[in-house]
Structure formats: structure tokens, C-alpha cells
Structure 1
Amino acid sequence: MVSFFEHFFEMQKWFHQLAFSWIPFSAGDVLYIILGLFLLYYIIRCFQKKKRKQYLLKLMIIINILYFIYQLNWGMLYFQTPIIQKLSTQEKPTVDNAKKLAIQYLKKCKSTRKLVKEDGNGIFVVNDLKGIQTEILSQQHHIPQSISNKKTHLINSFKTSLFKDIMSYSGILGYYNPFTAEAQYNSTLPSTFIPFTSAHESAHQLGFAREQEANFIGYLIGINSRNPELRYSTEYFTLKSLLKFIVGEDPAFVKYIIRNYSPEMKRDRLYEKVFVARHQGAFEDFFGFTNNLFLKSNQQEGSITYSYFIDLLLNYEK
């Protein structure tokens, strides 16, 4: 059955991308707004005494239909064979190996950071977003066949989310819309996030449902890219992920690596911290809690984990 849904996804993703990619705004977000208003109408009617049972029944039918469509288009992909089983080694990651790799990626980040543009404050800025998106689609062809045999269609269906301001306060960087096959991203994010987030969401477009596997596919897309903006964003994400994995065991090493960031990287890190601090609050806590429940209900470890991505990264690098 999982194989059937994988093949079905290959057919419908091409149709959905072709149908919605030409629309200049997020059609999926408009659909969510319409559905939200529609459901709100039925919820309000459920509180009225007259025909309460009738509207409650209709509401349950609508929710079940939507859930069925979601599972048909996307939900069953969480049961695909994990990528870790496709790698030649499947060893548990060690902090020592992560440290060695962190030193390598620090050097890579320092080197690539010198190749990208800055704003007047010396902060990294994306210079050509369309070029990054084109490069992501091109690099999908270079994912090793042993890891992915999913079809790529070179259809640009990256969209700025209509909810970008809300996303900034929720901690959500981007999301994939399974009803329209659009890759949504928050355009207000610091530029260090945007290229890799786009690569991550494009991995969902390919059919990788698990979040940490989408991170790994995004890593494969960006790490050997000819586009320095995409490559720097990917290298920087990889370095941060390694440090978050290491910090529980050796915080002194993490501090040492951060002290050795280049001046350019330190400016980027400070800008990220200011952005996050400016948008923290109860709203982010709520979305973090609900997102964690969603991930755990879909065969994943939850949102506060980097171990599976590190598993994939270290075994692949080995």
C-alpha cells in the first residue's frame, strides 16, 4: 500500500505543480483561508440549538473528507522506507565524529561566506532568489540514485507564504502544502535561513515527508551547489545542527567553534539572534507544542531533535 501511494504521489505532484505553479501568489494559502472560514461557519452553527446535530454531522463529514484527501496526497508517505536503511553504513553518531565534521564545516562556511553579498550592515543577503530556486531544481537531479529515484520536473513552485508575518512569531520557517504541491517559505527570515529552507521544502515536493529526511535531502541539494548563497546557507545549517548535537556533551567545544567564526559569520549569527529574540513569545510556544504533536503522530521523533539528521549526515559522510 505504501508503494501504491508513492506511485500515486509521483503522478499527482506533477499535476498539482503544473496546475498551481503559474499563479503568482500562494494558492494553497488562499485555499486554507477559504477552508478556515468554511469550517468556522459550521462550528458557529453547531452552537445553535436548531439543527445542531445536522451541522455537527456535516462538520464531522467535512473534516473526515479533508483528512482522507490529506492522507491520500501526503500522509501515507511518512511510512516510506527510511533513508538511513539505504546508506551503506548505519552506525550511531558519536560526538567525536560530529566534532571532526564541525571543524570541517566551520572552514567551509568561512570560505563560502566570502563569496556572497552583504547589506550596508555587513549582513549576508540573498542577491538572486530566482537563481537559487532554479539551482535547487537543477541539483535535485544530482541526488544519488541509491538514496532517491523520485522524479524531478523542474517546475518552479516556490511561493512566499501569505502568513509570513504570523510565521515569524511561530518559529515556522516554511511548509509544504500537500493540496497544491507548493513549497512555502517565510520571506521575512534572515537570508541565512531562506536558501536552505527552500531546499528543504523542495525535498518535500519530491516526496520526502519526514522533516529530518527533508533536511538531509536539502543538504544533498545545497552542499555541492555552484550557487554560493545556497551553498553557504546549507553549510551554515549543517554546522549549527552539528553544534546543537554536540552542545549537550561538550559545551566548551561549541563555544570554541563559535569564537572561531569569521567576523562575517558572527554578524550573521547576531542578526539571527536579534530576529529570533524579537519574535519570541507564547505564540511560538503554542506552535512548537502543536508541531511537536503533529510530528510524533506521523512516525517522527518530534520537533526538538537533530539526531536523525545527524545520523544521516555522519553515515553519508563516512
Structure 2
Amino acid sequence: MFRKLWKLSLLLLTAVGAFLIYKFAFLMPDVTESVYAQTIYPFFTQIIGNLTKLVSFSVGELLLYIFAAYLIFGVVFTFFSFFKPKGRKLYHFCKRILTLAIVICMVYSSFILNWGINYARKPLADTMGLEIQEATVAELKDTAIKLADKANSLRQQVSEDANGVFALTHSKEIVLESVQNVYDACAPEYMNLGVKTRVKGVLTPNLLSTFRTTGIFSPFTYEANVNMQMPELYFPAVAAHEYAHLKGFAREDEASFVAWYVCSKSEDTDFAYSAYAYALTYVINALYDVSPADHQEVVSLLDEGILRDFANENEYWQDFESDLADTGEQIYDSYLQNNGVSDGRKSYGRMIDLIIALNREGEL
């Protein structure tokens, strides 16, 4: 009996193989970029993404619930192995534990080979020919002022609701359908490889809000998913961020930069304003950490409408502050660190380095 378990356990080696490939990819970022990120990965997205885009709902969300149900069933099923006849309890217990482990290893291997290797690709700064260096407070302030000027100008061109808060010109569903068009019109080719598809909304109300999350990418189904309950201010930018993950930009800082870079060039003022407000938030928060006085000076330059938009955004997320949300953030922080992002969620702030590098080039 236990010989069968030994043979079955060999399937665990798939995860070992995927792990070794993953670690090896980090040793050769240029090769990973040209062979995987720009060739193999876009091909994968064409095959699977063209299937999942045929349905309007998120297949990835559905699979998440099925996997969670399977894990619960698997644990309960394993417990019932103790009710087997004497002499077979240990065998059935080991077999069921091993089956669970194999399924988890297969999921892990699929994650790595389907998408995770993109964490090891060449840094976007190198692809764009940008020099990343430590920014001075003066550079940070200058970048914040330029972003504020752009945001102020765009704020005058967008719509408001009855409370004077930014309102999308079209529905959120139309925004999700428009993301691929914005990329087609504004993204350089290397930012727009692979399948072209609509971004999808998460169907379960407040599922992502409970974990203070704006969007999630499914690497198994190549679907970019967005929180449909979040306020409208960052909605287009977040949709573009998740779409950047679909395009192979796994690192959060790079996905955020790509979202801003692409949307900032859009003729759709909703996308452009959302992108500048999105980037401005990161930059002024970073400025506050190093120079509260300069931060206050930049904030004083902001249009009253932008301040109302920021206040509305903060008010929404305050309602979801909880221990569960904190736990979710800690889990995601660990996930990022285990995938080569050494500073975890703080890597979102490194988006600023890329914007400042553009500013040094006179392109902001």
C-alpha cells in the first residue's frame, strides 16, 4: 500500500521543478525578458485568455471559490480517514494528506509557469532606458508640483456628482471595456503584448473591499479583475494597473507606473485624470514622510475638487478598517517578499522612482 503512496509522492516534484526554474530565471533577467516575458508568456495569454474572455464573469473568481471549497472538503475528508478500519487508518490519512499536498503543488507550479516568472524579468527602467537613483527632496517636490498641475488642469475637464466629487462620464462597465482600447492607442508595443481583452469586475459585493483591495489578477485564467464597489476616482487607473499585470508586469511598482504612463497619454479625460490623481497620491504621501512642510505647500496648490475626491476616497476605505483587512495585507506582503520583492507592499512606492526618472529626462 505504501509503495503506491511513494509513487504518488513523485508528483510533488513538479513544484520542486517549478521552484528551481523560478530561481534560475532570476539569475538571467535578460534571457527571462526575451524568452519568457516577450515570447512564451504572451503566447500563453493568447491561448487561455482568448477562451476566458468569451464569458462576461470572472472565471478566476469562480475557480477561487471552488479551490477554497475543495480545501475545506479535503481537510474534512482527511479527518474521516480515522473512521476507517484498523490497519488502514494511517494509509488513508497519508493518502489524503498527500493528495491535498499534490493539488497545492500543482497550483503553485501553474502559478510559476503561467505568470510568476515575470517577477524575474528585466526591470522596466532598463527597458525604457531610465536611470534610477535616490531622489532628493527637491526632486520629489518638483515632481509632485508637476503632477499637481496636470491633475488640476484635468480636474476642470471631468464631471462631478451632486456632492462635487469626481464622477465617471460612462459606467464602470464601459470603463472596463475601454482599458484595452487605451492600451492599444497609448502603450508602446512592449507594454501591450499578448491577449487583448476586457477587464472584469469581481461579482461578490465588497469581497475585495473587506480586504482593502482594489483589484486582483488571476494568473491561471489571465483575467484582470477590479473591485466594483470602490469609489470612481482611481477606478480607471486600477483597471489599467490590473491590465498591466495581464501584460506581464508582475511587480506592483511597475504595474502602477505602466498604468499611469499609459493612461496619462489618453485622450479620455477620465482615464488621464484618474492616472494623475493615482500617481499624485503616491508622490505627495512620500513627500509628507520626508518634508511635511513641502507636502503642505503642494497640497495648498491642489484644486478644491481634487481635495474633495481624496476625502471621498479616504472616507470609503475607513469603513473597511479591520483586523481581517490587516491580516490580508500582511499575507500579501509576505507573498510579495517571497516573489523577489524584498520590501513587500512598500514596493508600490518605487513607482515614484520611475516617474522622477522621467522627470529628469524632461518627459513629465
Is the shorter-chain TM-score for this pair beyond 0.5, marking a shared fold? yes
1:5 corresponds to 2:58:
no
1:143 aligned partner: 187
List runs of 5+ in structure 2 lacking aligned partners.
1-24, 26-31, 83-88
- Contact 1:168 1:188 survives alignment (8 Å): yes
1:315 aligned partner: 357
Give distance in 2, aligned partners of 1:188 and 1:172: 11
Alignment counterpart, residue 27 of structure 1, candidates 59, 80, 84:
59
Secondary structure at the aligned position of 1:303 is classed as helix
How far the C-alpha of 1:114 sits from its partner, in A, is 1.5
- Contact 2:252 2:348 survives alignment (8 Å): no
Alignment counterpart, residue 124 of structure 2, candidates 83, 105, 111:
83
2:85 aligned partner: none
- Contact 1:196 1:218 survives alignment (8 Å): yes
Deviating 4+ runs (over 6 angstroms): none
1:39 corresponds to 2:100:
no
Q: 1:25 to 1:135 in 2, by over 3 A?
A: closer
User: What percent of counterpart residues are identical?
Assistant: 24
Q: 1:196 to 1:312 in 2, by over 3 A?
A: same
Q: CA RMSD in A?
A: 1.8
2:236 aligned partner: 195
Provide the aligned length of Structure 1 versus Structure 2.
315
User: Would you tell me which structure has more helix in proportion to its own residues?
Assistant: 2
Give the alignment of 1:45-84 within 5 angstroms.
Answer: 45-48=77-80, 49=82, 50=89, 51-84=92-125
Give distance in 2, aligned partners of 1:261 and 1:316: 22
Q: TM-score, normalised by structure 2?
A: 0.82
In structure 1, give the amino acid aligned to 2:196: L
1:105 aligned partner: 147
- Contact 2:45 2:194 survives alignment (8 Å): no
Give the alignment of 1:113-152 within 5 angstroms.
Answer: 113-128=155-170, 129=172, 131-141=174-184, 142-144=186-188, 148=190, 150-152=192-194
Q: 1:149 to 1:115 in 2, by over 3 A?
A: closer
1:270 aligned partner: 311
**Higher relative contact order by CA 8 Å / sep ≥ 6: 1 or 2?**
1
Answer with 1 or 2: which has the greater Rg. 2
2:274 aligned partner: 233
Give distance in 2, aligned partners of 1:281 and 1:315: 37
How far the C-alpha of 1:91 sits from its partner, in A, is 2.5
1:160 aligned partner: 201
Q: 1:164 to 1:181 in 2, by over 3 A?
A: farther
In structure 1, give the amino acid aligned to 2:98: L
How far the C-alpha of 1:168 sits from its partner, in A, is 0.9
Instruction: Report Cα offsets for 1:22-75 as digits up to 9, x if no partner.
Output: 212111111111111112111122233242111101101111111111111011
Q: 1:88 to 1:255 in 2, by over 3 A?
A: closer
Alignment counterpart, residue 180 of structure 1, candidates 214, 221, 225:
221
List runs of 5+ in structure 1 lacking aligned partners.
none
In structure 2, give the amino acid aligned to 1:102: A
- Contact 1:135 1:227 survives alignment (8 Å): no
Give distance in 1, aligned partners of 2:316 and 2:133: 37
